[in-house]
Amino acid sequence: MPINILVRFNPAKPKAGEDVRVQIVVQHPMEPGTRRDASGKLIPADHINEVNVTMDGQLIAQVKPGPGTSANPLFAFKMKASKAGQLKVTCKDLNGQTGEKTADLTLA
């Protein structure tokens, strides 16, 4: 099952040169590998270990979360909205599952 990713810009349509906040939610249970199930068996680790953000094909942010990251993590950063373009977020977890989401940044 692919990993679901949500992307939001704030403001939704910034003016050219304005700072825009990019918020990314990766919907994933983020199992650290230290918890046990009801029968006492260790639940294997399964967490996101890489998130890449590109704008028009150029890498602008990279995150390497670890097992201590909460479920459905939110990642946020600011960038200058110098021009309209396509933001692409990709991620992968320890079990090889991947997710990808594109969002168009439009200017006011």
Give the CA distances from residue 69 to residues 10, 16, 46, 82, in Å, rounded to whole numbers and listed in that order.
24, 34, 11, 32
pLDDT at residue 79, as a whole number: 96
Q: How much is the pTM? A: 0.91
Q: How many CB atoms lie within 10 A of CB 39?
A: 5
Spans in the chain with pLDDT lower than 70:
none
**Contact at 8 Å (CB) between 20 and 14?**
yes
**pLDDT tens figures, 8-28:** 999 999 999 999 999 999 999
User: Into how many domains does the chain fold?
Assistant: 1
CATH code (residue 11): 2.60.40.10
3-state secondary structure of 21: strand
Domain span at residue 25 reads 4-105
